[in-house]
Chains A and B, each alone.
Chain A
Amino acid sequence: MEIFRPYGFDKTLFVTVLILLALGLIMVYSSSAILAGERHQNTFHFFINQSIVAGIGLILIFLMLPVRKPFFQNTYFVYGLLFLSLLLLVLCLLMPALARTNRWIQFFGLRFQPSELAKLSLILFFAHYFDRKKERMNEFQTLIFPLIILTLFILLIIREPDYGTAILVFLICLIMLFIGGVKLKYFLFLGLPPLGLFVFYLFQASYRMDRILAFLSPAKDPQGTGFQIIQSKLAIGAGGLFGVSFGGSSQKLFFLPCSHTDYIYAIVGEELGLIGTLAILFLFLVFLWRGLVISKSAPNFFSQILAAGLTLAIFSQALLNISIVLGLGPPTGIPLPFISYGRSSLLCTLFGVGIILNISQRKKNIPKRK
């Protein structure tokens, strides 16, 4: 039924990820050195933290590669992970606020952002669920359970508050529903409750409306929300074709807030120019291509939907971040996968990559296809 080739994983995808990681680390150092120097008296502070997590992530991938049994298809694993992320999200809201938000939980001095884990576990859950119910996919009883789960997660993440991530989670779930084969007309009914939540919470906090207005006319905003958009575009524009040279960004000198996290791509644009921005876009495109190829040759429905889902989730997050940095969307805090500073995000993304690579080692045992 299925052939497992240990270490016969997709090398192109792996190398792409490695290049993205390396670029990311370099850019994290370049964009955070000054901030780290001022705040932590050590210019390598963020770089070291990110490197450690990248190392752990790679070790994790190598541990996952030789696993013959598809552990990610195990019901206990999938629901266990789903329950764990739900628990952590609830815990998050109960924990004392950090920087006025409840996005992190903290134990033994380590901080973790459960919403990153939530993305991963939701993709696994949808793949698993649809695999079980593929015979009765387009029935009301089948769809009501994912809808409840989806709405619950979005509600918890909005409450943190992390509106941007909530939207991303919603988008990922829609992609999963779509490639899972849910008929388009059902999307209306599936999308309504979460959309209602989004509209409700949009008007709950004035800064969200401000951000959208700032996005529509950045020049008018005096309070600095539009400022971020202007600065980001200015950084990219100043880069030109070849960039102002590596490490030469002047925007990261506190002009551009979050320059090593959500807006790192703007620093790439400034320091490495169009060459750099297009190179990263190209790398993500290769990632998408290989991911879908892996999905196509995967041995069963579950592996296919999982590989495609993970690939599309990472890729769409990248696109979303890049569009925001370019000023094509209202500013929300979404990190650029592999590149942005953010340990929880990096670890979870690399875990996802590990699953994709594991799937790439599995082939159908049918001599001839179509």
Chain B
Amino acid sequence: MKQEKIYEDLFPVLRRAKFIFFIVAIFFIFLILNFWKVQILDHDGYWEKSEANWMREITLPYQRGLISDRQGIILANNRASFRVSLIRENCEDYDKSCRKIARLLNIEEHVLKERIKKYESQPHFKPIVVKENLTFEEVAMIEARKLELPELILQSEPKRFYPFESFAAHVIGYLQELSPEEMRRDVYGERRLGELIGKTGMEKQYETALVGGHGRLIEVVDSLGRGREEVARSEPERGQDLTITLDFDLQKEVEKLLEGREGAIIVMDARDGEILALASYPDFDPNRFINRFTSEEWLDIVNSPEFPLENRAIRGLYSPGSVFKLTIALGALDLGIATEETTFVCKGETRIYNHPFSCWREGGHGEIGFFDAIRDSCNIYFYNLGKEMRIEEIARYARMMGFGSRTGIDLPGEKSGLVPDPQWKIEARDEPWQLGETISVSIGQSFLLVTPIQIAAHTALIANRGIRVTPHLFKSLSLNGKKRENRFNPPGNQVVNIDTSVFEQVIQGMWEAVNKQGTGWAALVSEYDVCGKTGSTQLISRDKSEEPEEEKEEGEEEEEEMKTHSWFTGFAPRENPEIVVTVIVEYGGMGGETAAPLARRLFNSYRKKYDRQEPTQTH
């Protein structure tokens, strides 16, 4: 009985499975009929489409987003350009066609082959770009030999173009071909081999916004490679346009001032960190990089002794020199080591820890007070303050002022510099800290290394009486004129834990340095209350700074004219500061002689342009 019950229950499974089987069988026959129709009856039609005529896929290049300055002047544009590509599949005899093409396009045969070799892993039917920026004669020549050379195809594409050539090159950056190694990185996942990508500057920083999407055209082509019918087409998508904070006129002036020298200048809005001008000299013409040029040309630029590719404003490591005295002054006041009334006697030289240390003025400054010490940049005064503060406190205040870490400017490759302390020296060099080194650090020498952008950011921090701003170049992104979301969110303005009155005292000293015949007198702009500090220092590579301190002091004596770099950093106006100017000129001599006059012209130009009307920049 029980057995039978189970047996009864089994029945529906089989019956219903069978039912499904019948449905499936009917569908099966339907499928077979369909295959019969597609593969046998309609075969000829499909065959013709697929084989006798073949299809090809053409990439429709997108327009890279434009880059313009704050006034809308376009700094990076696109223009049409012709290029010719080789399809290896269509070559009858690869070597022979290489020879022909090399002769036709006037390129060396081995260069051509090397270039093609780079793309060996690509399928043979994919076009490989062999020459770009063709002249009209070349286009005509290729067009005329079309039947003879079916392996060549001509394409036009929008191409990056920098209308002002080397203008703001270090900020804008340049493009280069995506290499196979880079392609394996996730960031460029959807990009293709040989595509141009941003390598430095804004072009790299905002790469993902600036690129668009490739379009795709699939067409049926005949045996001569002529397109006959479009099968599918997707339009390319434009990249977003980027507006940066640079001011064309100020940038132009900055570059003019730097011409023929080596160095960097930064002009920054003190209130929000917007960079109005940033230049590093020598520079380069980014248009040169766009052409897919040979490796020799590339090495030429990279190996140039002047390092034109190096952006000194964010990557140049310099000793801050006397500019660092501002940090010492702030620290000493904040710690109570010094007050406005603290005085020291400067005799031109002194012995501390049994080492001789000298002031830059041979006869000395005599008895000197706090404001005068900043105004006249007296070394002896700051040796004494630094000695009192000790290296740990100096390092703490230096870091508070932003040294030793990146400012966070939206430019790739920023260096963080170095703030030395005993722990660092043990770890990096396995040597104990020498007390004499503290004395050198007090006037911004020794191991201390900073970048110009750090100096500019630290000047803004002083100008804002303790409010830190992040230097940045990003203003806005837009697509077809419509604003997009903000990519760059500067960290909220941080407040440094130093009393405002301390800043006021240091600023008084900076004001006197410019306005009361101090070292920065050359930056004086009448009725504009410029506050600033000069500095003279050596560009010290890490290896050089290993030399004992005394020797360096002597060396400076002999070759001062030759080797001294010239600093000036300052802001204006004194109350409600608007602008920060930082100048470094390599081999420029004393800061007051070279850097300060350049800064004066920039303060003047800024004032002429912006001071009259109420500034309209948004925060």
Contacts and interface: CB of A to CB of B under 8 A. Distances in A.
Nearest to A285: B28
B492 interface: no
B43 A240 contact: yes
Interface stretch (B16-24, B304-312, B535-543): B16-24
Nearest to B18: A292
Which of A179, A270, A288 gathers most chain B CB within 10 Å? A179
Interface stretch (A85-93, A304-312, A341-349): A304-312
B42 interface: yes
Contact of B35 (A278, A288, A308, A312): A278
Contacts of A222: 232-234
A34 B126 CA distance: 12
Interface string A240-258: 1100100000110111000
Interface stretch (B51-59, B259-267, B509-517): B51-59
Which of A134, A237, A281 gathers most chain B CB within 10 Å? A237
B14 A227 contact: no
B13 A181 contact: yes
A241 B40 contact: yes
B224 interface: no
B43 to A, nearest CB: 4
Contacts of A233: 38, 46
Contacts of A328: 31, 34
A363 interface: no
Contacts of B55: 255
Interface in A208-262: 222-224, 227, 230, 233-241, 244, 250-251, 253-255
A130 B57 CA distance: 54
Contacts of A240: 39-40, 43, 47
A285 to B, nearest CB: 7
A315 interface: yes
Which of A34, A255, A323, A326 gathers most chain B CB within 10 Å? A255
Q: Give the interface size class of chain B.
A: 35 or more
A254 B122 CA distance: 12
Interface in B25-51: 27-28, 31-32, 34-36, 38-40, 42-43, 45-47, 49-51
Contact of A178 (B20, B122, B216): B20
B35 A234 contact: no
B147 interface: no
Nearest to B36: A274
B12 interface: yes
Consensus secondary structure, chain B interface: helix
A178 B218 CA distance: 46
A237 B34 CA distance: 11
Contacts of A250: 50-51, 54
Given A227-B231, A234-B49, A274 B39 contact: yes
A175 interface: yes
B39 A295 contact: no
Interface string B170-181: 000000000000
Given A250-B54, A269-B39, A34 B123 contact: yes
A301 B31 contact: no
A80 interface: no
Contact of B50 (A41, A251, A295, A322): A251
B10 interface: yes
Given A224-B232, A292-B17, 8 more contacts: A222-B233, A234-B50, A237-B39, A238-B47, A239-B43, A241-B40, A285-B28, A319-B28
The 6 closest A-B pairs by CB, nearest first: A237-B46, A238-B50, A181-B12, A274-B39, A227-B232, A240-B43
Interface of A: 34, 37-38, 41, 134, 175, 178-181, 222-224, 227, 230, 233-241, 244, 250-251, 253-255, 269-270, 273-274, 277-278, 281, 285, 288, 292, 295-296, 300-301, 304-305, 308, 312, 315-316, 319, 322-323, 326, 328, 366
